[in-house]
Structure 1
Amino acid sequence: MLKTKQRLQDKKSKITVHEVAAHAGVSESTVSRIMRNEGLVAEATRARVMESVRALGYVPNRIAGSLASMDSKLVGVVVPSLSNIVFPEVLQGINAGLKASNYQSVISISDYDIDREETLVRGILAWQPAAILITGFDHTMATRRMLDQSGVRVVEMMDIDSAPIDVAVGMSHRRAGYAAGQHLIAKGYRRFGYVGHDWRSDRRARLRYDGLCEALAEAGVSITAHAIADGPSSVATGRSQTEQLCRMAQVDVAVYSNDDMAVGGVFHCMGAGISLPDQLAIFGFNGLDIGRELPQPLSTVRSNRFLIGQKAIEAILLAPDRPTTKTNIDTGFEVFSGATA
């Protein structure tokens, strides 16, 4: 295994401090000081070095000498949030997959910031992990370059709608949105509203929206009104945006970017005396426990979040060396009729 890993690293032509220094026009010691964040360095020099680091995909090696050739048992995991229950459930699946192994996870939080993600990935790769599990396909070019050149197993979780660096584990969000649209059209709904959050930080929500629109267009229907918040999703945001949607247009059904937002919509209707689903139908995404425990269980698409984490770990345990072919592992989804739509 170690020989295979070394061949992969050689094939990727691992970037050295010397190459970064030459590219930036500084000494190797200056590069080392900047990467360790030690000593005084002019900001202009720091910016020039970091530009070279990102352009070349350089990753420092925190494990010196003979230790660098040891077989690492660390698995780096980068998720965007722990406050969103979706990702703790993924981590539970990862933990379950690791129990029977001698690997250990190191977890980092990116706060939905791809530049922050880049810094975290660079730090994790510096410790020569066996693998890195990361969320989605949206990365900076520098992050993609580092992951590609690292030679370690890379699992991009949650989504299979794009080509992965190594392996992707998750579901097709576009197909999920399409299935939701077909389900609601079959229910007889024709006047659609959409309540969502910032697509710039959540590409998967946009894919679901695109799939929904595709299904509606096939039935000769389009979305009548949109109430999309600038920030992240939350129950409070869903409640306020639903109030806004109801002021904008009269719709039969509101489709939400996720269950957090949809639960907020239910709370607005409860407070405003709007009968569900007679006066307004509500449809979410994720299949969260809170939605199932509402007086009227939330109509939604259920994703297999625990399975995503478990399958991500299984993929690297079954084949510790990165294969030459890229793989998508589909964990599927289920349309849950519920009682709100």
Structure 2
Amino acid sequence: MDLKNAPITLAEVADAAGVGESTVSRVLRNHGSFSEKTRARVMAAVDKLGYVPNKIAGALASTGTPLVAIIVPSLSNIVFADVLSGVTRALEVRQKQAVFAVTEYDPMREEALVAAVLAWRPEAVMLVGLEHTEGTRKLLRAAGCRVLELLDIDGEPIDIAVGFSHRSAGRATAAHLIEKGYTRIAYVGHDMERDTRSAKRLEGFVEQLNQAGLTLRDREIRNAPSSVSAGKAGLANVLSRSPDVDAVYFSNDDMALGGYFHCLSVGIPVPDRLAIIGFNALDICRHTPQPIASILTRRVEIGRRAAELLLEDAPAQTVDVGFLLVPGETA
């Protein structure tokens, strides 16, 4: 071991201050009896040596830690970054430490990560969505900590759920296209087996179409995560099979942006020849030559509200923050 990189220990601080380790511990925790002179000596030694207390080790000696574990499907998707922003801003006010883990939309990986973070005895675990393996649900129910499930309320939460109805969002999207007079409607989406929320949106969308006496003219499900390239290729495939389609619903704005780029590249007039609508109302899609029609989701608010409920020690509940349809100029 390279001793130059070894962390300064509590014993070294105690030796530099000329006191016992237990005294240093009491000063750093600001708990127990010690004089102001002793505190000054200890803090001078801490400052001189650059000592950083191992707060996790100390907390594990008690019943828990001030940690809040947040497990998300991806960090490359701005949606989850927005949620994390809302959570961390609220937690920082109360000096709670957020730690993150990424599942890559793999439910078994989520289960393994839940087991790993629970070993640190967090104060709470936050996850995205309501669908988990039975093993994950058992772990969380037995953990004795708060559980907050975010971005979805279409189901039964373990403890607290904060989000909106994806089925309702899908229905609202279909209603908008129907109201605009579109009847030959297709769908382009990404892997729905892992992203269950996109599957719920499609269910609601199809239900609304059926109520109006319509059916999907075509659908393209890409066996891959959502991306601009997947949306572009997906729309090209749909139009090659069903050239008379007059509107396309994309599973999210990444996919819709790709569809819009395809239209630009081959000269398809939007929305005169083909309407495009997505989901999430990402900032980039508001600044395309024609702002893309979408559903605005209140992602930062969801994160903030979940953190506030945790800090309030609120009872188990479901909080619907709603969504907003943004007409844009593409539908």
Kept after mapping to 1: 8 A contact 2:148/2:160? yes
Task: Name the residue aligned to 2:152.
Answer: 159
Partner AA of 2:305 in structure 1: K
Q: Distance in 2 between matches of 1:232 and 1:219?
A: 31
Q: Distance in 1 between matches of 2:162 and 2:270?
A: 35
Task: Name the residue aligned to 2:217.
Answer: 224
Task: Name the residue aligned to 2:119.
Answer: 126
Task: Name the residue aligned to 2:238.
Answer: 245
Q: Distance in 1 between matches of 2:274 and 2:228?
A: 18
Percent of residue pairs identical = 47
Kept after mapping to 1: 8 A contact 2:87/2:304? yes
Which residue of the other structure, out of 295, 305, 308, is the alignment partner of 2:302? 308
Partner AA of 1:263 in structure 2: L
SS at match of 1:212: helix
Which residue of the other structure, out of 129, 140, 143, is the alignment partner of 2:133? 140
1:331 aligns with 2:321: yes
What do the CA deviations read for 1:206-259 (whole angstroms, capped 9, x no partner)?
110011111111111111011111111100000000100111111110000000
Closer/same/farther in 2, CA of residues 66 and 311 from structure 1, 3 Å limit: closer
Q: Distance in 2 between matches of 1:175 and 1:116?
A: 29
Task: Name the residue aligned to 2:195.
Answer: 202
Q: Distance in 2 between matches of 1:93 and 1:103?
A: 14
Q: CA deviation at 1:139?
A: 1.2
Give the TM-score taking structure 2 as reference length. Answer: 0.81
Structure 1 stretches of at least 4 aligned residues deviating more than 6 Å after TM superposition? 63-66
Q: Distance in 2 between matches of 1:281 and 1:315?
A: 40
Which residue of the other structure, out of 289, 300, 321, is the alignment partner of 2:283? 289
1:273 aligns with 2:250: no
Q: Distance in 1 between matches of 2:209 and 2:116?
A: 45
What do the CA deviations read for 1:260-314 (whole angstroms, capped 9, x no partner)?
0000000000001000000100000000011101010000111011111111111
Partner AA of 2:309 in structure 1: A
Bigger radius of gyration: 2
Task: Name the residue aligned to 2:85.
Answer: 92
Which residue of the other structure, out of 72, 82, 105, is the alignment partner of 1:79? 72
Q: Distance in 1 between matches of 2:166 and 2:184?
A: 23
Question: Which sections of structure 2, spanning at least 5 residues, go unmatched?
Answer: 1-55
Kept after mapping to 1: 8 A contact 2:60/2:121? no
Q: Distance in 2 between matches of 1:241 and 1:218?
A: 26
Q: Distance in 1 between matches of 2:173 and 2:327?
A: 10
Q: Distance in 2 between matches of 1:288 and 1:93?
A: 16
Task: Name the residue aligned to 1:233.
Answer: 226
Which residue of the other structure, out of 272, 292, 299, is the alignment partner of 1:298? 292
Kept after mapping to 2: 8 A contact 1:166/1:327? yes
Q: CA deviation at 1:99?
A: 2.4
Kept after mapping to 2: 8 A contact 1:91/1:306? yes
Q: CA deviation at 1:316?
A: 0.6
Kept after mapping to 1: 8 A contact 2:59/2:65? no
Q: CA deviation at 1:315?
A: 1.1
Q: CA deviation at 1:68?
A: 4.2
Q: CA deviation at 1:151?
A: 1.5
Q: Distance in 1 between matches of 2:149 and 2:64?
A: 22
SS at match of 2:101: strand
Task: Name the residue aligned to 1:170.
Answer: 163
The alignment of Structure 1 onto Structure 2 pairs a total of residues equal to 275
Task: Name the residue aligned to 2:25.
Answer: none
Partner AA of 1:198 in structure 2: D
Kept after mapping to 1: 8 A contact 2:296/2:325? yes
What do the CA deviations read for 1:57-99 (whole angstroms, capped 9, x no partner)?
xxxxxx8999443442100000010111111111111111112
Matches within 5 A, 1:110-125: 110-125=103-118
Kept after mapping to 2: 8 A contact 1:68/1:128? no
Partner AA of 1:265 in structure 2: G
Task: Name the residue aligned to 1:34.
Answer: none
Closer/same/farther in 2, CA of residues 130 and 251 from structure 1, 3 Å limit: same
Q: CA deviation at 1:137?
A: 1.4
Q: Distance in 1 between matches of 2:132 and 2:151?
A: 14
Partner AA of 1:294 in structure 2: T
Task: Name the residue aligned to 2:21.
Answer: none
